[in-house]
Chains A and B, each alone.
Chain A
Amino acid sequence: MEKIVQNTDHDALTCKLSAISTRYIPCPLVHKDYFNYNDIYLSYYQTLKTLLSRRDQGSINRALRNSYPVMNYGTYLRTVSIDSLLNSYLDERVSNEYIQVVNLGCGSDLRFVHLLNNFKNIKYIDVDFKDALELKGKVLRTNLKFKQALKLDTEIMDKTENGSQLIHTENYVMMEGDLKDTSDIITKLSRYTDTNAKTVFITECALCYLPDIAAQRLIDKIIDTFDSGYWISYDPIGGNQEKDKDRFGKIMQDNLKSSRDLELPTLLKYFSEDLYSSRFTQHTNSSKKITVNIKNLWEFYLQSINDNEKKRLQKLQFLDEIEELKIMQSHYIILNAQW
């Protein structure tokens, strides 16, 4: 199951590269200070290819050739929704106060490159399975651009991790772990972060692969452990099968199970925005006040993307059917929770 979940990073990366090559991202508004966005991802991809098996190379190449507009729109919305929340939060901080950003289930995500470049006094922690981070570390170490960007010559070498590719500098840490093993994650996080400092947690299609109890435990424990936090989560929701006769979730579950044995244990349980929010508002064992905002990505598209930007997107590729985009994006949510 682990390998199967890890493989979803291939999908995410491919989708991102596809959206970049068709110019959906970078977004001129949200990413206006993200210099060399294309360069960074393409550079990562070039190096990664040299380390992948032929088969994996082939599947990424194939996917890049067939980039459907509806998928590119979705990847754009996914990226922009998370980045805009992140930017807003960081922009609001008072006089460069120290903030930590923890990306749970980060995969090959590279937003840390821009964040570390654009914001001072930030520490970024990438969390994922060991294998995933080893590969990522290898790519970053092999590629000169990243080496320089991350200032790898100033790396803090952990003696027990000799031979490993995991990176550990003053403000960027690769923390290996299994999100299902909550106590291990919390222990390690406590070692690498200051639990009293403001911390951002990002789960981008990460909670959806965890069993219900494990996901809830993770949410609860993190909120308990960290004094002041801001959680950004992007996930699919199944839709209301009973009330709206919405079969999207059930079909998605069946398709993923039969085509790649991938399971989404909570897709049909927290099937609406309200139910998904409740995982944060009703967490147990805490007297902390939590404010939660949630919307689905179709709402995000309607409300948060201005007309000019919508026009720009329209010109990129011919999106034949808006109905399909609406159906898909209505089943993905972007949540932010603050305590």
Chain B
Amino acid sequence: MMEPDQCLQYLYKGQLLPEATIKALCFKLKEMLVKESNVVYIQSPVTVVGDIHGQFHDLLEIFEIGGRVPDTNYLFLGDYVDRGLYSIETILLLIVLKLRYPNRVHLIRGNHESRQITQSYGFYTECLNKYGSSSKVWQYITDLFDYLILCCVIDDRLFCVHGGLSPNVQTIDQIKIIDRFREIPHDGAIADLVWSDPEEHNLMANPSNREELYQETSQHFQISPRGAGYTFGRSVVEKFLEINGMDRIYRAHQLCNDGYQIYFDGLVTTVWSAPNYCYRCGNKASILELYSADEYYFNVFVEAPENRLLNDQVMNSVANRNTISEYFSDYQLSITNGKDNTNDTSYDYKEFYKNGGNDVDELETDLMKMSLSTNSDIFSDSFQAQSARNRKVEYFL
């Protein structure tokens, strides 16, 4: 069984872990999380991160700009998987970071941390594609999702949840007594906490008339257009904050063009951390750096330059590469003197990966063979286009 640090070495490079390792990691994390309350209390400084949705490059970018774990404390608000192409790499990295630094990393459950949703929005398919149809990786991870906490309180003043408030929950104590260790139900408190949205102002309202604006949002919860959870207006928020002695609510769940969105004069804020969502929305993302309850900064960023490390399937089977330049220099050497020998099926891959050693056989994939045999120049446009083709961004054509 691999140690967390060893796992991190692979994971930071975007490499997948063997299924047996994933099984063990999920088991260990469930052991840890079962002892955590539905509501976890933490202290600033902490950096709050919104939806990531399998955009692994951008998660690495977050660690670049926000600081690496454990130098920076992180609170993740959920939605780690689905939509992006690297949900597995994303969730595995977060799982191991939580195991390795349990007090530096907190993972809240989002509405996508669910068996039902992940079957339609990509995570299930990704597991099939990367681990095969007989694998249980999706099962292990979605079982683990049942154990994720529901919300967090920072400095006893800031309430953090994935979606929003629930008509079934007036006090935070009520959240504590929920049995969370289950699939997200269709309705009820858990569903609301991960699905609800703040009510948007009527876009036709006159912004200079404060009175009108204030009255625009409802006194009560309204049915959500999403089909799950509710929408809640300013007065609902004020009531909740007052009863529970909280100042503000931080949540995620909704795409924000600018990376974050402030409602009700700052009572509720959405943090969104998946830039250029689905590789086509062109939105910015942000992470919220909280130095103290009253000092904070929205660190806004755009999508990370696509790291060839992940698009190049060949790299996924390299066990101990440290730097890209090392890899390239060896690769160049193997393309012998202008002669393309990559169609030679007896090519000795072990020789190719000098430091690869034992892991090569295990992790070798058809894609790797294909990329070696079709195009030897990985800087060429056609190779890049090949990788880009894998992204399959959909439009109406």
Interface of chain B, main secondary structure: loop
Please give, as numbers and ranges, the residues of chain B lying within 8 Å of A8 by CB-CB distance: 397
Q: Which of B20-28, B37-45, B278-286, B354-362 contacts A (4 or more CB under 8 A)?
A: B278-286
Contact of A258 among B117, B280, B384, B395 (CB under 8 A): B384
Q: Is the CB of A252 within 8 A of B395?
A: yes
Nearest A residue to B125, CB-CB: A66
Nearest A residue to B387, CB-CB: A258
Q: Is the CB of A261 within 8 A of B121?
A: no
Give bound CA distance, A321 to B83, whole Å.
11
Q: Is the CB of A261 within 8 A of B385?
A: yes
Q: Is the CB of A318 within 8 A of B227?
A: yes
A155 close to chain B: CB less than 8 A = no
Per-residue A-contact encoding for B268-296, CB less than 8 Å = 1, 0 else: 00000000111111110000000000000
What's the nearest-Cβ distance from chain B to residue A155, in Å?
A: 32
B35 close to chain A: CB less than 8 A = no
Residues of A251-306 at the interface with B, using a CB-CB cut-off of 8 Å, are 251-252, 255-256, 258-262
Give bound CA distance, A12 to B395, whole Å.
10
A219 close to chain B: CB less than 8 A = no
Give bound CA distance, A258 to B125, whole Å.
24
Give bound CA distance, A247 to B117, whole Å.
29
B158 close to chain A: CB less than 8 A = no
Q: Is the CB of A318 within 8 A of B282?
A: no
A2 close to chain B: CB less than 8 A = no
Give bound CA distance, A319 to B111, whole Å.
13
Determine which residue in A69, A261, A323 has the highest number of CB atoms from chain B within 10 A of its CB, and name it. Answer: A323
Q: Is the CB of B121 within 8 A of A255?
A: no
What's the nearest-Cβ distance from chain A to residue B106, in Å?
A: 24
Per-residue B-contact encoding for A227-264, CB less than 8 Å = 1, 0 else: 00000000010000000001110111001101111100
Q: Is the CB of B120 within 8 A of A318?
A: yes
Question: Chain B, interface size: which category?
Answer: 20 to 34
Q: Is the CB of A255 within 8 A of B393?
A: yes
Q: Is the CB of B226 within 8 A of A320?
A: yes
Please give, as numbers and ranges, the residues of chain A lying within 8 Å of B347 by CB-CB distance: none
Please give, as numbers and ranges, the residues of chain A lying within 8 Å of B210 by CB-CB distance: none
Q: Is the CB of A259 within 8 A of B393?
A: yes
Residues of A109-157 at the interface with B, using a CB-CB cut-off of 8 Å, are none
Give bound CA distance, A12 to B281, whole Å.
21
Please give, as numbers and ranges, the residues of chain B lying within 8 Å of A324 by CB-CB distance: 255, 277-278, 281
Q: Which of A37-45, A70-78, A177-185 contacts B (4 or more CB under 8 A)?
A: A70-78
What are 22 contact pairs spanning A and B, CB under 8 A?
A: A11-B396, A12-B397, A66-B125, A68-B120, A68-B121, A68-B394, A71-B394, A248-B280, A248-B282, A255-B279, A255-B391, A255-B395, A259-B385, A259-B393, A262-B397, A319-B227, A320-B111, A322-B226, A324-B255, A324-B278, A327-B255, A327-B283
